[in-house]
Chains A and B, each alone.
Chain A
Amino acid sequence: MRHLLSTRDLLRDDAIGLLDIAEDMSEVQNREVKKLPTLRGKTVVNLFFEDSTRTRTSFEVAAKRLSADVINFSAKGSSVSKGESLKDTAQTLAAMGADGVVIRHSASGAPQVLAQSGWIDAGVVNAGDGTHEHPTQALLDAFTMRRRIHGDAARGRDLDGVSVMIVGDVLHSRVARSNLWLLETLGAHVTFVAPATLVPVGASTWPADIRYDLDAALAEVRPDVVMLLRIQQERMNAAFFPTTREYARQWGLDDERLLALRPDSIVMHPGPMNRGLEISSRAADSAQSTVIEQVANGVSIRMAVLYSLLSGDREARS
């Protein structure tokens, strides 16, 4: 693997390979000395054009545990408004000898543009681009599901037959897209539940069932996994739904809906959560919730990705 830009073109064996490496990385996290020497001498740049303390920190911890040198290059706001182009930034990082670039950008496709530009020779990891994809989030979600469902026997397994319900702002969610493609590849079945205003045009052609009524969907599907998507503050005033109260009543995982779930169903959220809106506090803090596990697993997955992209001689594999 040269870059990780999306989950859509990730092959099943490669995906399972990454999840298995993440299992190894996870074991390292339980040791007293959590650091591996694998990427010593390599430089990883966290190139964040959009604020995200959580994701950036997760990548930073992952890279440091692999002994890479980490540089945080924060270009808050659009690169254009700053007057420096993605091209100039990339060429600058190339001149400094970056081996890997972890990029978060508000423009969909920016990581792909960077990877195919010829401006820089580094491995590129998409850490979230616009409303396109967020592949490491989908990988850590799949990792979390696989562990909860298969336990210690998770290695080598896929998610065949697992039913995943993703609820909320699918329209603007790169997490929903990356999860859809990866879960399909791993054999899971995805149901999206959202008000029609937050379902993307043309989503009927996607390999997912689309439902509007959360209660009916929960009752009929009895999903193994319920994943709530964050409602972004800026969507709340953009007439996608009348009020946050109405949204919470119709599509929030409140206490009643939590109780109606199968006892072994798991509750996921990519964070950060709006408690009381898309998820109630009780649901978020319940034993069924994997929210904290997801954060821990995020480090293992990102270690696995950086390891796969950057260890050894990159040229030999490109």
Chain B
Amino acid sequence: MTTTLITGATLPDGTTTDLLIADGVIAERGAGLSGPAGARVLDAAGLVALPGLVDLHTHLREPGFEQSETVLSGTRAAAAGGFTAVFAMANTMPVSDTAGVVEQVQALGDAAGYATVRPIGAVTVGLGGERLSEIGAMANSRAGVRVFSDDGKCVHDSLLMRRALEYVKTFDGVVAQHAQDPRLTENAQMNEGALSSELGLKGWPAVAEESIIARDVLLAKHVGARLHICHLSTAGSVDVVRWAKARGIEVTAEVTPHHLLLTEELIRSYDARYKVNPPLRRDEDVRALREGLVDGTIDIVATDHAPHPEESKDCEWDHASFGMVGLESALSVVQAAMVDTGLFDWADVARVLSQTPAQIGRLEGHTHSFEIGASANLVLVDPASSSTFSVDRLAGKSHNSPYLGMTLPGSVRHTFHRGYPTVLDGSVLSASEVAAAATAAGVARG
């Protein structure tokens, strides 16, 4: 197993140190370290070392939609973006609503080796919103599922949502709600407001998200359960979650990178790359989401990485699919929206993109403080670089990124998953190299 010496890296707290990675763990840290003969030496002067990023909201599409993404290609995209763990959403085909499917997804992730894959289980059978799926079986499976979500669909039946919140408590799990009142958003295409009216696109009103969140935080309070809200997108949602947290309700919330940077104005082009659910909102929503992330109302950033093949976007707006890829661009977008604006330092970035999502998802073995002996999941980024975001930066199967052609700061230089590199000098290592390293590290389970 290779040993790597990283010299002169800047930690999230601003201090500079060398790090020695050996046997999959951080073996030594401090100034002036020297590695054994044959060790890989990486000069990290000017680079920021972050704990490996953790995405609580990724669509890997496998099984069922392999033309969009596979576990292998999706985790390759994750590595390119500095992620070492991803939570894979349940809206696959078949739906991840049984122990068999979640174990398969996890096994595919282990074999690929680019990142730790933690499957998310469906709350209801087939995402049908009618009866609970086998939550206990998934929780007790080898995949050890702790996050349950019908993402893509809202658990809109109030009684079913109450039961889900209660039942999931049994397994120390959490329900991650896709907050969208289905009746208020029938055939909705973009944020409802003056612009949707002008463009003639059917509106997705903010109240359709906010009313579900309000109901769910009250349900969570009533039954004393943990609730996670996916992809908050409106200023009103931030207000509701802030209200709930002030009352001690156990709610956590996420925001996507795109909702922190992009607004609905882009839709004037009718370019379907900007079609996403929940939709891009107004300037004032972007500001409120950033403020919410700063004051802790919003706990984490999660990508909602949603790959689609070209034909799903190269068409009329109404006919296009919802979603954008986000793993490869997330860190750059968060840097642009939060760090370069002075709202965040790198310790904040480490918190919202690694530490807290790992806690919410009950992810074991992911270190956040570079302590000696911890599993070596880390990413080295060059915050001083700036470049036009191009297809070269995309490492998954799909190219439906809204950032293509935009200038974004920062780049991932090196990513280490459990002590072995998945990205070196900005290049993603080959699938065979990474799989071999994963096997050597004892990650793959047969």
Contact = CB atoms under 8 A, between A and B. Distances in A.
Interface in A156-214: 171, 174, 177, 200-206
Nearest to B267: A109
A105 interface: yes
Interface stretch (B199-207, B294-302, B417-425): B199-207
Nearest to A130: B200
Given A86-B316, A105-B316, A113 B200 contact: no
Interface in A55-110: 78-80, 85-87, 105-110
Nearest to A201: B192
A224 interface: no
B317 A85 contact: no
A132 to B, nearest CB: 3
B171 to A, nearest CB: 41
B196 interface: yes
A132 B200 contact: yes
B194 interface: yes
A110 B196 contact: no
A206 B194 contact: yes
A201 B203 CA distance: 9
Contact of B270 (A109, A200, A204): A109
Contacts of A204: 194
A23 interface: no
A177 B195 CA distance: 12
B193 A107 contact: no
B364 interface: no
B311 interface: yes
B316 A113 contact: yes
A208 to B, nearest CB: 12
Contacts of B269: 112, 116
B201 A202 contact: no
A121 interface: no
Q: How large is the interface on A (under 10, 10 to 19, 20 to 34, 35 or more residues)?
A: 20 to 34
B131 interface: no
A202 B193 contact: yes
Interface in B316-350: 316-319
Contacts of B192: 201-202
A116 B271 CA distance: 10
Interface in B203-247: 203, 205
Contact of B199 (A80, A116, A132): A132
Given A108-B201, A113-B270, A133-B200, A202 B195 contact: yes
A206 B193 CA distance: 11
A113 B202 CA distance: 17
A203 B192 CA distance: 11
B197 interface: yes
Which one of A130, A133, A203 has the highest number of Cβ atoms from chain B below 10 Å of its Cβ? A130
B197 A201 contact: yes
A270 to B, nearest CB: 16
B315 interface: yes
Interface in A102-128: 105-110, 112-113, 116
Given A202-B195, A203-B194, A113 B315 contact: yes
Interface string B108-148: 00000000000000000000000000000000000000000
B314 A87 contact: yes
A131 interface: yes
A205 B194 contact: yes
Contact of A109 (B197, B201, B311, B314): B201
Given A132-B200, A177-B200, A108 B315 contact: no
A201 B193 CA distance: 5
Contacts of A130: 200-201, 318
A308 B371 CA distance: 72
A34 B196 CA distance: 42
A218 to B, nearest CB: 25
B280 to A, nearest CB: 15
B205 to A, nearest CB: 7
Nearest to A202: B194
Contacts of A79: 316, 319
Nearest to A105: B316
B196 A202 contact: yes
B198 interface: yes
Nearest to A174: B200
Contacts of B194: 200-206
Nearest to B316: A107
A50 interface: no
A281 to B, nearest CB: 31
B315 A87 contact: yes
Contacts of B200: 108-109, 129-133, 174, 177
Given A85-B311, A112-B270, A107 B197 contact: no
Interface centre among B194, B201, B319 (most CB of A within 10 A): B319
A206 B198 CA distance: 9
A177 B200 CA distance: 9
Contacts of B199: 108-109, 132
Contacts of A203: 194, 197
Contacts of A174: 200
A80 B199 CA distance: 21
A201 B316 contact: no
B311 A201 contact: no
Given A85-B311, A112-B270, A205-B194, A107 B203 contact: no
Contacts of B196: 201-202
A9 to B, nearest CB: 10
**A8, A109, A133 — most chain B CB neighbours (10 Å):** A109
Nearest to A132: B200
A81 B316 CA distance: 13
A133 B198 CA distance: 9
Given A80-B319, A109-B200, A200-B197, 12 more contacts: A8-B198, A79-B319, A87-B314, A110-B316, A131-B201, A171-B197, A201-B196, A201-B197, A201-B205, A202-B198, A203-B194, A206-B197
19 contacts: A8-B198, A79-B319, A85-B311, A105-B316, A107-B317, A108-B200, A108-B270, A110-B317, A130-B200, A131-B202, A177-B198, A200-B194, A201-B192, A201-B197, A202-B193, A203-B194, A203-B197, A205-B194, A206-B194
Interface of A: 8, 78-80, 85-87, 105-110, 112-113, 116, 129-133, 171, 174, 177, 200-206
